[in-house]
Amino acid sequence: MAAMSARGSAIHSSEEGELLACRKAVEFAIDAGFSRLVIEGDNANVIKAISSQEANISLLGNVVEDIKYLMRGLQWASISHIRRSSNKVAHVLAQHARTIIEGLYWIEDSPPPVIEQLYQDDCLL
């Protein structure tokens, strides 16, 4: 398991932010040596675009195609749409990224900003 919290450039839409974050996360996972990856997101349009076998010719198509290209180098990947209420850890990490200057990365450790949310998620299981 791994997590990251990193600031990105200014974005124009939530889909752009989700796609850029996804690309960064896949790059991080590959750099960390992961060959199996679970991608979950609460934006149905983003998940549909990444899952599609068709080439994406939208304004953000280059980012979608980057993600697909990176994923081809993985041994296995799962892409799933989840409810926003099931994505609270990612939301907390994204909010935390607004307060940092440099990216923070955790491998085989729980990120301090999300420990409370991880505990709450575990209690719901």
Q: What is the pLDDT of residues 59-115, one digit of tens each?
A: 999 999 999 999 999 999 999 998 877 777 777 877 878 888 888 788 888 778 777
Residue with tokens 């697909």: 68
Which residues are registered as beta bridge partners of 36? Answer: 76
Domain span holding position 75: 2-124
Per-residue pLDDT, 121: 67
Spatial separation of the C-alpha atoms in residues 80 and 75, rounded to whole Å: 17
Residue 36 pLDDT > 80 = yes
Angle between helices 61-72 and 44-51 (to 10 degrees): 50
Using the predicted structure, report yes or no on whether residue 122 has a pLDDT greater than 70.
Answer: no
Burial class (CB in 10 A: 0-12, 13-18, 19+), 63: buried
Number of domain units in the chain:
1
pTM above 0.85, yes or no: no
Question: Regarding predicted confidence, which is higher, 89 or 123?
Answer: 89
Which CATH number does the domain housing residue 18 bear? Answer: 3.30.420.10
